[in-house]
Amino acid sequence: MDLALWCRWLPPRGWCTCDADGVANSWPLHPQTGEEMSPPLGPWRSWKAGKSYLYDLRQGDEGQKPA
């Protein structure tokens, strides 16, 4: 595990991750239908400090510790 993230549903944008200030900074790479009950697993792209990052979103267990 690289980093623990919190995903949120924002009505105008769909599923995303947000920074500490609540600003959306990452979205699923594939289009969303708007019917997902949870964030789609798989490739996501984030934008931080003017750079683009691609990562694989995976479901973790609550309280899971990195290996």
pLDDT tens digit string along 31-59? 888 788 889 999 999 988 889 999 998 87
pLDDT of residue 62: 59
More confident residue, 39 or 62: 39
How far is Cα 57 from Cα 26, in angstroms, rounded to an integer? Answer: 11
Quote the CA–CA distance of 42 and 30 in Å, as a whole number.
9
Residue 63: which pLDDT band, with cuts at 50, 70 and 90?
low
